[in-house]
Structure 1
Amino acid sequence: MSDRSWFYASNGQQQGPYPEAQLRDLIARGTVRADTLVWSEGMAGWQKAGEIPGLMSGGARPPAMPQAGAPPMTGTGGYGGGGVDGPLSVDLPLMPLLGRFLLLMIGALLIIPSPWTSTSFYQWMASRTTVPGRPNFAFTGQPLDIWYVFIAMGVMSYVGSYDSTLQLISIPVEAFLAWMLLRWVFSHLASNGQPLPIAFNGSVWTFIGWQVLMVISFITIIGWAWVIAAWMRWICRNISGTRREVIFTGSGLEILWRTIVFSVACFFIIPIPWVLRWYNRWFISQFALVERTA
């Protein structure tokens, strides 16, 4: 079986062909799941990967996918990653991304629907994201978990635009709300249906400081891009609960020119879906998992 080439179905489209070693890598990463339809030459028709003997387990590409029950714990208290390191990736179908992004914006503008539209967007994005060593990555938060945070963020966005004095007051308040939102997101991540013991432990005061620095950096016209890069690295350093380290590899210059291209393309309206996907794919790919050095 090891010399065979495989196809698999994703979002109604045929992917492949892939050598079996590469298919097993996709299985280990959670891209191909037990209920994913696959086909190889000699098969009568498409079949679920989990129904093909020897495909989902065994083989020459470790680690094997976790079986029923919680993933094994490491001595450091995090989930065993099987030594699988590398960048995150995301598969974003063009029109579904645009539709969900528009719903996210509409929910934010109307405020009241924002807990539902935002949570749905996070759940969809997580389901499209591939994390090395974390099969079937998911976000399990529910709209009513912290509905008051979403409502407050919507209200503050209007308050900040009403008056310059109120805008200054809204900056630390919005930063505090974003800090609460970030902690909630990290505490509701899962893999293979099992909660991940991940937490964001960054100080709220430091987070507010980053937000203030971001606002000040706009005076320099371009300095905000380097602030974002440093801010992302600080957030990564304050993620706990996994034996692997989360890093951000993007630079300020990369963020700057991509944001400029994105903004200019959005001005012409028609390219929006393509640049939205391009920008999100790149940004997510700048996060990676590596073995901790200490």
Structure 2
Amino acid sequence: MAGTTTAPLRAACALAGLPSEGATLIREGENALWRLPGGVVARIGRTGQAAAAARELAVARWLFENRFPAVRPLESVPQPLDVDGRPVTFWHQLPPHAHGTAVDLAPLLRRLHRLPVPALELGRLDPFVRLGLRIDGASTLDPPERAWLRERLAVLRGAWSGLPPGMPLGVVHGDAWGGNVAVTASTTYLLDFERTSLGPPEWDLAAVAVEQGVFDTTGPEEYAAFCEAYGTDVTAWAGYPVLRDLRELRLTCYALQLAAADPDRHRAEAHHRLACLRGEKGPRPWHWTAVS
């Protein structure tokens, strides 16, 4: 067992009556995932995110009730558990699987967006969450760059409030990409409901469209197949440029947050993204590199 979340894992397992000996780290980032003996996965959230963890559990249970293929929480343990302010949840381990693609994601989103709105406290989608804090805390920015980002944020707040009519509001995943899809030999599952809320379905679709414009993970042919599988192309919607610009700003501010913590690793990519937003790198595609 190794990792910076070893201590909270052991404490949570002791509270839940689950074994931690022999646990293996799956990944450790903003959230940490551990594989426990007996086919259980523990998820350790960030400090102060208990409400998000509780909502994630509620969404997963609701999806299970609706026979939706999604990762399922362990029902034998009262959760989320609080360990020094960090929420810990436990989940049934999926069968051997691989990450999905945009084409794998499309039918899951289509099905999710068509479900009736549940009687859950999901909250409304907030595409601006933490953006101001990330701009203020981005220590690699100079004053003109910070001022430009603040102005950009203000402009997009106004544009968001004036979006044209689109699809009916419904349950949106909030972090729709292939990494949150698990493809097994028999079933394709949707994962990670930390950002699930009520909002425009176009928000999820725009996530895939933006990948085509800034990363190399979704090419034109795969994106066309995604649109065919879902049944629409969000880039044809009049409100798409606002969603695209918001998602690109979020991706840039996240990279700037990482650059503040580790400039040697992330400053170049973060400032490349900023330069793209400011029109200094030509038209899309911009070929950004994923950061974590």
Q: TM-score range by the shorter chain?
A: under 0.3
TM-score for both structures, normalised by structure 1: 0.25
Normalized per residue, the structure richer in helix is: 1
Whichever of the two has the greater Rg, that structure is 1
